[in-house]
Structure 1
Amino acid sequence: MDDSVIDYTLYIQADPARVWQALTDPALTRRYWGPSFETDWAVGSPMDWVERGARTSDPAQVVLECVPDRRLSYTWHTFSTQWAASVGIGEELRAELAAEPRTTVTYEIEPVGDALARLTVRHEGFTPGGTLIGMCAQAWPMLVSSLKTLLETGAPLPEPGHAAGRYESYGQ
């Protein structure tokens, strides 16, 4: 990992189709992450992030790549005042995040034998040493661990890393 990219790889006891479903099905996404995504997953389509009653829509929030069961890429969400209020972060932190460039998340899913999938998450385009990379570097391990736990046990981690919990350590 350099100071503008987060790479995280884990192995999940599930087939690639099930991992794909967890990344794209709003009901599953809400269970392990908190937000859900409203989109048709076609390349170029907008993505609305829906979290704690707030809808974050922006023409720059789009699907960049979509190969079912293999690869998914999209731009990270806009840090709107509505989003910040819904997850309990202050205006100063929201403005700091909004001033950084938009980042991109890419998921690569690979089968490993008959019973495992390798999931690699690459989140890139951060301001080196910026606030967002620090927050995301802390959040991604918990988030993908919760996804893995949900797929392997049927329940996410007890505290699935919702936005407010991820941001508490950044002194609002």
Structure 2
Amino acid sequence: MGDDAFVYRSRIKTTPRELWAGLTEPAFTQRYWDLSFDTDWRPGSPMTWRERGGSVADPAQRVLEADPPRRLAYTWHTFTPDWAERSGVDGDVLAVIAAEPRSQVAFDLEPAEATVKLTVTHDGFAPGSVVRSMITEGWPELISSLKTLLETGEPLPG
């Protein structure tokens, strides 16, 4: 983990297996993240990101680690013009983020009494990274919605 790493921690009232499913199973990820992953979750396997009626596939989108239900890590997705259009990202921002080095994210799940401590570590950013500034807002919102879904059965609205 470098100095550029973004780390976010949350405690979720669930089990490690339920949280693992929340991070990997399309039925869950679609509900709180509005996307799903097409992969077998084995280290080295490719990942296709499916969201907003489109998909992003790239040989560099890979599962880095998968140790259910303790640790999951993968490379971040490729920024394409189709993805940018579906996501409302303008061309100037796309040019900047597409030129940045590919980052990676890891999820560590640790049982803690009646909860699971989830640590999200997203790193591999260049100094002054625009992607890093984007994910610092995105991860807290996303994990809050995952937490709400697992604890109440419904994700956050919106």
**TM tier, smaller:** over 0.9
Could you tell me which residue of structure 2 aligns to residue 17 of structure 1? 17
Could you tell me which residue of structure 2 aligns to residue 162 of structure 1? none
User: Percent identity among equivalent residues?
Assistant: 52
Could you tell me which residue of structure 1 aligns to residue 71 of structure 2? 71
- Aligned to 1:21, what secondary structure does the other structure show? helix
Could you tell me which residue of structure 2 aligns to residue 146 of structure 1? 145
Distance 1:130 1:65 in 2: 24
User: 1:27-83: CA deviations, max 9, x gaps?
Assistant: 110111111111000110000000101110000000000001100000000001111
Could you tell me which residue of structure 2 aligns to residue 96 of structure 1? 96
- Is 1:137 matched up with 2:125? no
Could you tell me which residue of structure 2 aligns to residue 39 of structure 1? 39
User: 1:130-164: CA deviations, max 9, x gaps?
Assistant: 211111001111010100000001111112xxxxx
Q: CA deviation at 1:2?
A: 7.5
**Aligned CA-pair RMSD:** 1.3
Could you tell me which residue of structure 1 aligns to residue 123 of structure 2? 124
- Aligned to 2:59, what secondary structure does the other structure show? coil
Q: CA deviation at 1:87?
A: 1.3
- Unpaired runs of 5+ residues, structure 2, are none
Q: How many residues align?
A: 158
Give every structure 1 segment of 4 or more consecutive aligned residues whose post-TM-superposition deviation is greater than 6 Å. Answer: none
Q: Which moved more, 1:122-131 or 1:141-150?
A: 122-131
Output the amino acid matched with 2:88: G
Distance 1:101 1:126 in 2: 7
Question: Which one has the bigger strand percentage?
Answer: 2
TM-score by length of 1: 0.89
Contact 1:4 1:129 (C-alpha < 8 Å) held by counterparts: no
TM-score by length of 2: 0.96
Could you tell me which residue of structure 2 aligns to residue 51 of structure 1? 51
- Aligned to 1:11, what secondary structure does the other structure show? strand
Contact 1:3 1:129 (C-alpha < 8 Å) held by counterparts: no
- Aligned to 1:65, what secondary structure does the other structure show? strand
Distance 2:46 2:140 in 1: 26
User: 1:65-119: CA deviations, max 9, x gaps?
Assistant: 0001100000000001111111121111111110100001000001112x21000
- Aligned to 2:41, what secondary structure does the other structure show? coil
